[in-house]
Amino acid sequence: MNRSTVWHPFTQHALEPPMKRIVSTDGAYLTDENGKRLLDANSSWWVITHGHRHPEIMKAIRTATDSYDQIIFAEYSHEPAEQLAAGLIEIAPRGLSHVFYSDSGSTSVEVAIKMALGYFHNQGEIRDRIVVMEGSYHGDTVGTMSAGERSVFNAAYERLLFGVDRLPFPTTGDEQDTLDKFEDYCRLGRVAAILVEPLILGAGGMRIYGAAVLAGLKEIAEQHGCLFIADEVMTGWGRTGTQFACDQAKITPDILCTSKGLTGGSLPLAATLCIADVYDAHLSSDRRKTFFHSSSYTANPIACAAAVANLEIWRNEPVLERIARISALHRENLERFQNDQRFVNVRQSGTVAALDLVAPNSGYLADVGPRTRWLFRERGFLIRPLGNVVYLMPPYCVTADELGCAYEAIDEVASIVLGRS
């Protein structure tokens, strides 16, 4: 086979073997070119919710292609986009009223940052600071890298990134420190918005914090007139146990970002939802107050049709019951590792479970990361650790036996990589 000319994401090709090609997907599984089936225990980077190629979503895509391809969204609208926007407002935290489409999680957050800064700019108020949580990850565009943790992910681009104000992660027992620090920033009068991943920091290591902290941050933001942005790109669509993570704190963000599970994982699409005040700040006879953002494929009709079908699945199928079942299975399976000396920080939020290998080094570049990933693949599992952080985030169609086998693989692989087999 000729050497591929494809450059893969987050891949050091000098160290990786040639990529296997996936030839088909179905339910919770991927099948590679050699016929090997792999349980997609990380939902193909967290996007697959109901399972690969859900029949209703595939049907909606095929039907949409009979009428649509891309349509310029600055000049026209179309029915899939209108249906989807109405459906999103219906299920989102109460008070969100407008929907702006983009293409990915990164762009949905980039849109949110620009909305927040434009909100104050258009009202003649100088607010130019964004507050974030340490250890967070919001994407790989320049704006979202700026808001994310400074690390090996963005070291090469440091000079391009703008400064943000960072809150300490609210570790158990120290939650008030996080709230107090946010209050300190707000008192300076320059904070435009706080941007957080609600309840769980994803790529930052699956770090989990409580709903009370989320509610406290929102209350402080309201007191000081700054906007609250919820990055629900990963946490939305049931991952933390509720449709959106913000639901658990009983809060409505001023701006909410969603992508990944928006189409059930079938096609790329993102949406940034906002309250009326944010939209109204850009509504003017003065064209200079226009929200100047777009991409060529904004609101792709076929992707929107897939997302509308996803909404129907949430309405008509027992999705929350499936999520509750997976959450319970995680709790049962994690129990065996609670006092296991090979692991620390055994934790769970809804359908997300994580535990840290006690390895000689930690973090994204931990030596155990690639070897652990390869060992999982040999055993028929797509489990892609974040360095020494092993996590499971399966599609909602996963069975108890399949999830149990994934935990058996974690047990076995941990012994091998730590030299205790």
Q: What is the pLDDT of residue 121?
A: 98
- CATH number assigned to the domain comprising residue 405: 3.90.1150.10
pLDDT at 362: 83
Query: For each of the chain's 421 residues, which pLDDT tens digit applies?
Result: 578 999 999 999 999 999 999 999 999 999 999 999 999 999 999 999 999 999 999 999 999 999 999 999 999 999 999 999 999 999 999 999 999 999 999 999 999 999 999 999 999 999 999 999 999 999 999 999 999 999 988 999 999 999 999 999 999 999 999 999 999 999 999 999 999 999 999 999 999 999 999 999 999 999 999 999 999 999 999 999 999 999 999 999 999 999 999 999 999 999 999 999 999 999 999 999 999 999 999 999 999 999 999 999 999 999 999 999 999 999 999 999 999 999 999 999 999 999 999 998 888 888 899 999 999 999 999 999 999 999 999 999 999 999 999 999 999 999 999 987 5
Side chain identity at residue 20, one-letter code: K
pLDDT for position 363: 84
Task: Identify the three-state secondary structure at position 381.
Answer: strand
Count the Cβ atoms, other than its own, within 10 Å of residue 125. Answer: 14
Map tokens 């973090």 to a residue. 363
Q: What is the pLDDT of residue 286?
A: 97
The domain containing residue 329 runs over which residues? 318-417
Packing angle between helix 319-334 and helix 400-417, nearest 10 degrees?
40
Does residue 312 sit in the same domain as residue 195? yes
pTM score of the predicted model: 0.97
Could you tell me which of 341, 343, 387 has the C-alpha nearest to residue 364? 387
Residues tagged in the binding site annotation? 45, 105-106, 137, 231, 260, 294-296, 384
What count of residues does the chain have? 421
Final residue in a domain of this structure, among 291, 316, 341: 316
In this prediction, residue 214 carries a pLDDT of 98
Contact call for residues 336 and 90 (beta carbons, < 8 A)? no
H or E stretch at 201 = strand 200-201
We report the CATH number of the domain holding residue 194 as 3.40.640.10
- Does 202 lie in the same domain as 91? yes
Residues 294 and 325 reside in one and the same domain: no
The binding site for substrate comprises 45, 137, 260, 294, 384
Domain check: are 283 and 340 in the same one?
no
Q: 299 with 330, same domain?
A: no
Q: What is the pLDDT of residue 394?
A: 98
Per the structure block, which two tokens stand in for 180? Answer: 């107090």
Query: Residue ranges for the binding site for pyridoxal 5'-phosphate?
Result: 105-106, 231, 295-296
Domain boundary among 264, 291, 316: 316
Do 347 and 244 share a structural domain? no
- Residue in 163, 49, 4 with CA at minimum distance from that of residue 395: 49
For residues 174 and 224, state if they share a domain.
yes
Q: Please indicate, yes or no, whether residues 298 and 335 belong to a single structural domain of this protein.
A: no
CA gap 352, 373 in Å, rounded: 18
Q: What is the DSSP letter of 253?
A: -
Domains in the chain, number: 2
Instruction: For 195, list phi and psi in degrees, rounded to 5.
Output: -120, 120
- Decide if 51 is inside a domain: no
**Residues 65 and 146 reside in one and the same domain:** yes
Q: Where do the DSSP E strands lie in 268-419?
A: 270-275, 343-349, 352-357, 381-382, 389-392
CA dihedral 131, 134, 137, 143 (to 10 degrees): 40
In a domain, 12, yes or no: no
Q: What is the dihedral of CA 106, 7, 50, 401, to 10 degrees?
A: -130
Would 34 be classed as within a structural domain? no
Determine the Cα–Cα distance for residues 302 and 266; give it in Å rounded to an integer.
Answer: 10
**61 and 162 inside one domain:** yes
Clarify whether residues 88 and 235 are in a common domain.
Answer: yes
Other beta carbons within 10 angstroms of residue 142's beta carbon come to 14
Q: Say what angle helices 301-316 and 55-65 make with each other, to 10 degrees.
A: 150
